[in-house]
């Protein structure tokens, strides 16, 4: 059976665990040669790269601090150096720091912006010179861009609203070059970022489908947007939330 994305090259930021690792696995399964960044979990990253290679795919794990612009640019350069070009950029790296407004430090505010917002711009800016027509930029946002839901999520929500707005502007910038730019907005999903059983129990009754999402389900939407059938979708925020916002 032919692989739908055979021959494509991708870079996934924050790809060593959780949703990021699921995206790396799905793209590799669909025929993509995948580079991915990791911050600190070198063992997990190398194990993931080895898993993909053992299955007949191509993968490159790159240690990079998403909060450092030069590190992000280096990851793009290494991807292009290894594979020759770049077709798909998935901006997935992100952090979640909670706190109500009168307890949230300015240092944490700056850290959230530095990891969740700035690298989306930096990585896209570095990637697009290596992309041709049919290129894809996909950012993993969050439904919190539209609904915070609980106290303590204001700054996280702000960062996800910012990348949704940035996506619309980038789509206008890059549309004439044939490059699409979209953001996906997952709802509550079972990942290590959202592993608190008490929090999951609180959220589950709010889900129309009665359960949290799976990381592989989020990855499937990324794979669709990366493929040829999504060539007329750009500047969009696509919700994948099990009815959380319904």
Characterize the bridge pairing of strands 59-63 and 33-38. Answer: parallel
Residues 6+ apart with CB under 8 A from 75: 11, 13, 35, 37, 62, 64, 123
E strands, the chain, are 9-12, 33-38, 59-63, 88-91, 136-140, 180-186, 237-240
Q: Is 4 inside a domain boundary?
A: no
Nearest CA to 235 among 176, 172, 186? 172
Q: Is 244 a catalytic residue?
A: no
Q: How far apart are CA 244 and CA 31, in angstroms?
A: 32
What confidence score (pLDDT) does residue 108 get? 97
Q: Is 25 inside a domain boundary?
A: yes
Q: Is 35 inside a domain boundary?
A: yes
Q: What is the C-alpha R_g of the chain? A: 17
Q: Is 246 inside a domain boundary?
A: no
* 142-166 average pLDDT score: 95
User: Are 25 and 219 contacting, i.e. CB atoms less than 8 angstroms apart?
Assistant: yes
Q: Is 188 inside a domain boundary?
A: yes
Q: Is the pLDDT of residue 143 over 90?
A: yes
Which residue is catalytic, options 38, 156, 224, 244? 156
What confidence score (pLDDT) does residue 102 get? 95
Q: How far apart are CA 27 and CA 29, in angstroms?
A: 5
Q: Is 85 inside a domain boundary?
A: yes
User: Are 131 and 176 contacting, i.e. CB atoms less than 8 angstroms apart?
Assistant: no
Q: How far apart are CA 124 and CA 140, in angstroms?
A: 13
Q: Is 245 inside a domain boundary?
A: no
What confidence score (pLDDT) does residue 204 get? 86
Q: Is 3 inside a domain boundary?
A: no
Q: How confident is the model at residue 41 (pLDDT cuts 50, 70, 90)?
A: confident
Q: How far apart are CA 217 and CA 215, in angstroms?
A: 5
Look at the chain and report how many structural domains it folds into: 1
For residue 219, the domain's CATH number is 3.40.50.720
Structural domain of residue 217, as residue ranges? 9-239
Q: Model confidence over 183-205: pLDDT tens digits?
A: 999 999 987 666 667 767 778 88
Q: How confident is the model at residue 56 (pLDDT cuts 50, 70, 90)?
A: very high
Q: How far apart are CA 189 and CA 23, in angstroms?
A: 14
Characterize the bridge pairing of strands 180-186 and 237-240. Answer: parallel
- In the predicted model, what is the mean pLDDT of the chain? 95
Nearest CA to 27 among 15, 42, 41? 15
């Amino acid at each position: 059976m032919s692989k739908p994305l055979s021959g494509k090259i991708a870079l996934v930021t924050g790809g060593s665990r959780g949703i990021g690792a699921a995206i790396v696995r799905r793209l590799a399964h669909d025929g993509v040669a995948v580079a991915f960044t990791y911050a600190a979990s070198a063992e997990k990253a190398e194990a993931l790269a080895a898993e993909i290679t053992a299955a007949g795919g191509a993968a490159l794990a790159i240690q990079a601090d998403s909060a450092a612009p030069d590190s992000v640019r280096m990851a793009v350069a290494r991807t292009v150096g290894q594979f020759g070009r770049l077709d798909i950029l998935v901006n997935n790296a992100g952090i979640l720091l909670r706190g109500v407004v009168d307890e949230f430090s300015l240092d944490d505010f700056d850290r959230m912006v530095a990891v969740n917002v700035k690298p989306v711009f930096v990585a896209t800016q570095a990637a697009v010179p290596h992309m041709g027509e049919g290129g894809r930029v996909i950012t993993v946002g969050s439904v919190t861009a539209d609904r915070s839901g609980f106290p303590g999520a204001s700054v996280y929500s702000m960062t996800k609203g910012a990348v949704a707005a940035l996506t619309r502007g980038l789509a206008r910038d890059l549309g004439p070059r044939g490059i699409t730019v979209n953001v996906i907005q997952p709802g509550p999903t079972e990942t290590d970022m959202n592993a608190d059983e008490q929090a999951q129990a609180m959220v589950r009754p709010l889900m129309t489908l009665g359960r949290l999402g799976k990381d592989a389900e989020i990855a499937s939407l990324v794979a669709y947007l990366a493929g040829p059938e999504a060539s007329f979708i750009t500047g969009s925020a696509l919700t994948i939330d099990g009815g959380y916002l319904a």
